[in-house]
Amino acid sequence: MGNYSWLLPVQASSFAARIDLGLWIIHAAMILIFVLWTIFFAYLLVAYRQRDGHKAERIHIDHWKSLAPDAAVLFFELSVVALYVIPTWSSLKMSLPDEKDSIVVNIVAEQFNWNVHYPGPDGKFGKRSAALIDFSNPLGIDPTDPAGADDFVTVNDMHFPVGKPVLARLSSKDVIHSFFIPAFRIKQDAVPGMVVPLWFEPTLEGDYEVTCAQLCGVGHAIMRADVKVQSRTDYDRWFASMAPVKKAGPSGATEEW
Amino acid sequence: MSEHGHELSFTEKYIFSVDHKVIGLQYMITSFIFLLIGFTMILIMRWQLAFPGTVIPIFGKLLPATFAPGGILGPTGYNQMGAMHGTIMVFLGIVPLAVGAFGNYVMPIQIGAPDMAFPRMNMLSYWVYLPGGILMLSSFLMPGGAAQSGWTSYPPLSVINPGQTVWLLSMVFLITSSLLGSMNFIVTVLNLRAPGMTLWRMPLFCWSQFVTAFILLLAFPPLEAAAILQLSDRVLHTSFFMPDGLVVAGQAAQYAGGGAVLLYQHLFWFLAHPEVYVLILPPFGIISEIIATNTRKPLFGYKEMVYAMMSIAAMSFLVWAHHMFLSGMSPALSNFFLITTMIISVPSVALLTCLILSLKGASIRFTTPMLFALSFLPMFGIGGLTGLPLGLTVTDIYLHDTYYVIGHFHYVVVTGSLMGLFGGVYHWFPKMFGRKMDDCLGKIHFWGSVIAMNGILMPMLVIGLQGQSRRLFDPTAQLHNLIGQPMHVLSTISAIALMLFQIPFIYNFFNSMFRGELVDSNPWKATTLDWDCPSPPPHGNFAKVPRVYRGPYEYSHPDHNEDWLPQSREHAEAAR
Amino acid sequence: MNETTPSETASAAHHEDHEALYLKVFGMLCVLTALTVGVSYFHFPKPFGLLIGLAIAVGKAALVVSFFMHLKWEKALIYYVLGLTAFFAVFLFVLPIADFALITDRNVHDAHPAILDTGKTAHSEEKGGASH
Amino acid sequence: MSTETVAYENVGIPDGKLALWLFLASEIMLFGTLFTSYIILRTAAPAWPVGWEVLNVPLATLNTFILIASSVTIVTAHSRVQKRDQKGFSAFMALTVLLSFGFLIVKAVEYGVKFSHGIFPSTNIFYSIYFVMTGLHGLHVIVGIAWNLGLMWWAKNGGWDDKLFEGRVEYAGLYWHFVDVVWIFLFPALYLL
């Protein structure tokens, strides 16, 4: 797979580069601190080793000077926090793209599948009910609701167009899962009893992988899905092919099973 | 308690003993056994990670078919071992070793006390810990097997999975044991110091135990409450952590609903983050003792270190939700925990800085315990530094729940805590048995362990950066993990090597107990009170209650003829 | 060993007769209990009723702790221990509750579109303004 | 042992009392956690039953009085120890134990009525928290009864003249008052608000 390397995976979403920037800055700082520190440490070990004619001496070191590393670390951390972390976090987690300009989907995790509920051509989600859940209707879409008649559900297979934000409402049917697309640098827990919004904007066409990042039971390792990021036309063609043709039927979402 | 003059039976002396030293040794042996069990589990798991779907050598044939059908580890077995590895290492291994063993054995002699304040309670706390541990292990034999929801035991998974009930019961035992121990430690430090031993003359190890005891006392009850609530969810079918409308395997779950899933995570991490400092503060105390002794000069910044420990302990209660940035918790609240997390790194840096500056001007003796203490510094440094990208909300989005996390906290706990504790064993072994451990075997143990540990953990940081999730039974089931597979192989080979390098230690420990070089009561020429009493100390520790005249680390005192001036020596003798 | 510590007997040195005081406190506690039950019959609006109930409970607890538990006559160290506990307890209270207060827009109960219970009001997806 | 003549460095508070307050500190965290859970579950719930409509307030009020009275009797029993009045101690301690049994009996009646109506901890989240919190409190009451009975037995069997006796009665009292304080908060939280 060309998307994955010995270091970070390919940057396939709009904010992947911003997260990577942070990772590189911090790792560069970490390595710098560690190397300088180790050199000093090694020097101390060699210079003050026990040997003939050398005696320990009580050196007076100014205590205020010893606080310099603490102050430097705190200053570095707080500047990273103020200049990079909080602004980025706010734009990623505390504001969401407009629903009108986005692909809106519901992503529902279950042991051990990722269900994606697309609203169909009308852009409206049908009502869902736990009582209606069965093998052919994994999300329990209400067949009597006209809004849901053209909805469709894919399992472990999601398609998104390139260059358009995706607004997903993440939830879970049973236990806690975690929605993780390494190439998009996006991760969010799917918690039963809650709906957590998340968004991402794919910027690179290709096939990527969704995995579950939170232990969810026996099949945790095989809980994966494919994400296909397609050109606008390919996506539209796929979308049209998925939407149920007939409005009436015992269950609106049976076609693709 | 039993008085002098009356012969103690074998049981009173070695099994139901109220002597803090015997209890400390009981803790030490028991926790080392648990560490070995937990490590064996991870070896089996690591084999599966490196060579998925192949027969496990040696252990494959021994494991029952429910675990490893045909000698190949199954996913249920993997999850059980994963959960038990975490639980055993943290609650039955490192904490009892750091607090139960060293705290019990060394702390009372260092402050000049004849025993703990409540010797019988001390005995009780061991005899609650041991059944708790045995109960934990016995859960493998229960129908449905052991806990398999990770050591964090997040509901709803832990409520619907089999095996968790025994885990929760056993946790209640372990928490009770910790609470008894922590009350005892605090009272002992406050009320049983030898005359002249003011708080500011206590060795750093005693300070670390004192501070740790407060963490245990106040952080454990929330987990106890969470365990009780989860237990009632499992046994009484209440729904504290079970939300409305759960559908498990296509069936509506039989719970009334209305529970809050995130509540458990808050309560769990309210304990589990301070717990990390319970794992690291006592080893910090141990290596402070070792470094002071082997540099032959006073520690740099004694008061600064005490204040740093106190602020770490206090701050550790305010950072817990940095484990929950992506749990669905309010993103605004994340910013609060982000700031507190950054602040808590300052006292940790201060501790490291003080210890490394203590080397300046020293005459460093590279004894075996000193090697362990010195390796602690850079290795804990890596552990601390790798915590930085995990503590920052934005980079945590990518790194959370990957192998990077595993690499990070094992650098802290294994190359940090565990190495410090090994150092403590080599340092206080002469006190415990009156004999020294073999130096050559000790050095083999040290170099082998430190290299093997890095061989295990460094690859984890790499595959973590590649985005590999943790707790995967078979990493090759996911495409993006394939490239990192050689790293798993390297890690597994290093783990086997680490196991082999423990053999010299185990042999050395038991062999030196009976055949080691005989030494006097103060072989390291140390100043603290623990080196003032005979080795091994008799019942009651000191023939005459010692009197303390100065601070703990008076090495190379200019007015004294030797390069160590014990705390109990009334006057310095001028150099001849 | 605690049995031989001289500090063990130190507290026996000074004690006055508090029995009359205990009876007075008992009377006050009874009155406050009657008050809290009585007030609850008026069904005050929620925040107000909550405040009254809590204030009375805190008052009763303060009486028990200061007089029956002799905290009034205790040394400062006990206050420090309790202060430390209170400090952590406050965070244990405030932060998780703040979390749940801040995420009401993703309501824990009825915003679960995947699996709404049939008995509950259906959640309309159109209005589901996930944006803050 | 030679330790008796030596004054160890100490903080001037007896070991037992210090340990007991530390224990109570951890108990505060335990019950504090339960109250946090209660508040969170309650605020997150779409509907919460009104305590006085589904629970028996008069019985609970009676229980509150019983527990307060038992606090007074145990503190008086301690005062009688200080006055070296063994009869008074025995009487007040017996009264305390009787009152605590009374509390448990009332509690059992409350539980029994609920069970007979088919109401169990699993019925809904309100009853979950009600049964677990009162149940845990009841467990503390049972521990207190055992403790107090133990002291009464010890007083008759050599304990009265032990120099540790007064302290141990005081510590039993401290624990018992704490159980009372927990109820003082539980009562309005579950029944009245």
- Residue A110 inside a domain? The answer is yes
In this complex, do D25 and C30 lie within 8 Å of one another by their Cβ atoms? no
Give the pLDDT confidence score for residue A65 in this predicted structure: 77
**Cβ contact B444:B505 at 8 Å:** no
Map out the domains of chain C as residue ranges. 18-74, 75-117
Q: Which two tokens stand for residue B222?
A: 């929330």
Out of B187, B244, B318, closest to residue C117 by CB: B244
Round the average pLDDT of chain A to a whole number and report it.
87
Which C residues, 33 through 52, put their C-beta within 8 Å of a C-beta on chain B?
Answer: none
Q: Write down the pLDDT at residue A179.
A: 96
Looking at residue A254, its pLDDT comes to 39
A130 with A77, same domain: the answer is no
- Mean pLDDT score of chain B: 92
What pLDDT does residue A41 have?
95
Residues B363-407: pLDDT tens digits? Answer: 999 999 999 999 999 999 999 999 999 999 999 999 999 999 999
Q: How many domains does chain A have?
A: 2
Q: Please tell me the predicted confidence (pLDDT) of residue C107.
A: 45
Mean pLDDT of the region B475-503? 94
Tell me the residue range of the domain where A29 lies. 16-94
**Do residues A40 and A161 share a domain?**
no
Task: Give yes or no for B225 touching D (CB within 8 A).
Answer: yes
Token pair of D42 as six digits? 């309650």
Q: Which domains does chain D have, with CATH numbers?
A: 2-192 (1.20.120.80)
Please give the structure tokens belonging to residue C29: 């506690």
Do β-strands A177-181 and B435-436 pair in parallel, antiparallel, or remain unpaired? Answer: unpaired
Please report the pLDDT score of residue D1 as a whole number: 42
Q: Mark yes or no for CB contact B394/A18 under 8 Å.
A: yes
C111 to chain A, minimum CA–CA distance in Å? 7
Q: Which tens digit of pLDDT belongs to each residue from B257-284?
A: 888 899 999 999 999 999 999 999 999 9
Look at residue C13 in the predicted model and tell me its pLDDT: 43
Partner-chain contact B477 A224, CB within 8 Å: yes
Whole-number pLDDT of residue C81:
94
Name the domain boundary from A68, A94, A120.
A94
Q: Which residue has the tokens 């910044």?
A: B301
C132: pLDDT confidence band, cut at 50, 70 and 90? Answer: very low
B191 interfacial to chain C (CB closer than 8 Å): yes
User: Which positions 48-67 of A are in contact with B (Cβ < 8 Å)?
Assistant: 48-51, 54-59, 61, 63, 66-67
Residue A196 lies in a domain: yes
Same domain? For A27 and A111 the reply is no
What is the residue whose two structure tokens read 């005062």?
Answer: D79
Geometric angle at alpha carbon B276, from B274 and B282, rounded to 5°: 100
A130, A54: one domain? no
- Per-residue pLDDT of B6-56, as tens digits, reads 667 777 778 888 999 999 999 999 999 999 999 999 999 999 999 998 999
Name the strand (E) or helix (H) holding A76.
helix A68-80
Using a CB–CB cutoff of 8 Å, tell me whether A124 touches chain C. yes
Indicate whether C115 pLDDT > 60: no
Listed residues A94, A113, A128: the one ending a domain? A94
Q: Across the interface, do C108 and B243 touch by the CB < 8 Å criterion? A: yes
**pLDDT tens profile B55-110:** 998 888 888 888 888 889 999 999 999 999 999 999 999 999 999 999 999 999 99
- pLDDT at position B6 is 62
Question: What pLDDT is attached to residue B247?
Answer: 87
- Residue A193: its pLDDT value, please? 85
Q: Inspect the interface and report whether the beta carbons of A130 and C103 lie closer than 8 Å.
A: no
* B245 to chain C, closest Cα gap in Å: 6
> Which pLDDT band holds residue D44 (cuts at 50, 70, 90)?
confident
Q: Which of A32, A59, A94 is the last residue of a domain?
A: A94
- Band of residue C126 on the pLDDT scale cut at 50, 70, 90: very low
Q: Are residues A136 and A44 in the same domain?
A: no
Are A72 and A177 members of one domain? Answer: no
Nearest residue, CB atoms, B466 vs list A4, A186, A217: A4
Which residues of chain A have a CB within 8 Å of the CB of C126? 124-125
Please give the share of chain B, as a percent, with pLDDT higher than 90. Answer: 81
A49 in the same domain as A130: no
- pLDDT over 60 at C131, yes or no: no
The structure's pTM equals 0.92
Q: Which of A218-227, C7-16, C117-126 has the lowest mean pLDDT?
A: C117-126
So what's the pLDDT on residue B87? 95
**Residue-wise burial string across B54-76, b where 16 or more C-beta atoms lie within 10 A, e elsewhere:** eebeebbeebeeebbeebbbbbb
Residue A256, domain member (yes or no): no
pLDDT at residue A40 greater than cutoff 80: yes
The domain locations on chain B are 17-243+254-531
Cβ of D137: how many Cβ atoms within 10 Å? Answer: 19
Distance CA A13, CA A187 (A): 13
> Is the pLDDT score of D159 beyond 50?
yes
Q: Which of residues 138-167 of A touch B (CB under 8 A)?
A: none
Q: Give the pLDDT band (50/70/90) at residue C9.
A: very low
Closest-CA residue to B193 (of B118, B109, B120): B109
Question: What's the pLDDT at B185?
Answer: 96
Confidence of residue A144 (pLDDT cuts 50, 70, 90): confident
Stretch 87-146 of chain B: residues touching chain D, C-beta under 8 Å: 113-114, 117-118
Per-residue model confidence (pLDDT) at position B221: 94
Residue A62 has pLDDT above 90, yes or no: no
Among B567, A154, D169, residue whose Cα is nearest residue C70? D169
Which of A137-151, B445-459, C110-124 is the most confident on average? B445-459
Residue A113, φ and ψ in degrees, nearest 5: -135, 155
Neighbours of chain C (3+ CB pairs under 8 A): A, B, D
At B404-458, the pLDDT tens digits run 999 999 999 999 999 999 999 999 999 999 999 999 999 999 999 999 999 999 9
CB–CB contacts below 8 A, B to C: 71
Q: Answer yes or no: do A183 and A236 share one domain.
A: yes
User: Is residue B559's pLDDT more than 70?
Assistant: yes
Chains in contact with D via at least 3 Cβ–Cβ pairs below 8 Å: B, C
What are A158's two structure tokens? 């999601």
pLDDT of residue C111: 36
Maximum CA pair distance of chain B?
A: 87
The CATH code of the domain that includes A105 is: 2.60.40.420
Q: Do C22 and D13 touch (CB under 8 A)?
A: no
One domain, residues A20 and A72: yes
Same domain, A170 and A77: no
CA distance B221 to A181: 37
CATH of B17-243+254-531, one of 1.10.760.10, 1.20.120.1810, 3.40.50.1000, 1.20.210.10: 1.20.210.10
Name the percent of chain C lying above pLDDT 90.
39
CB contact B339 to C (< 8 Å): no
Q: Are strands A103-110 and A166-172 parallel, antiparallel or unpaired?
A: parallel
| Nearest residue in B to C89, CA atom | B218
Instruction: Tell me the C-alpha distance between C19 and A37, whole Å.
Output: 66
Please name the amino acid found at residue C43.
H
Q: Taking CA atoms, what residue in B is nearest to D32?
A: B222
pLDDT at D151 > cutoff 70: yes
Q: Which bin fits A119, alpha (ψ -120 to 50), beta or left (φ > 0)?
A: alpha
Residue numbers in C near A194 (CB within 8 A): 103, 106, 108, 111-112
3-state helix, strand, coil in chain B (%, to 5): 65, 0, 30
Query: Is any Cβ of chain D less than 8 angstroms from the Cβ of C7?
Result: yes
Residue A115 resides in a domain: yes
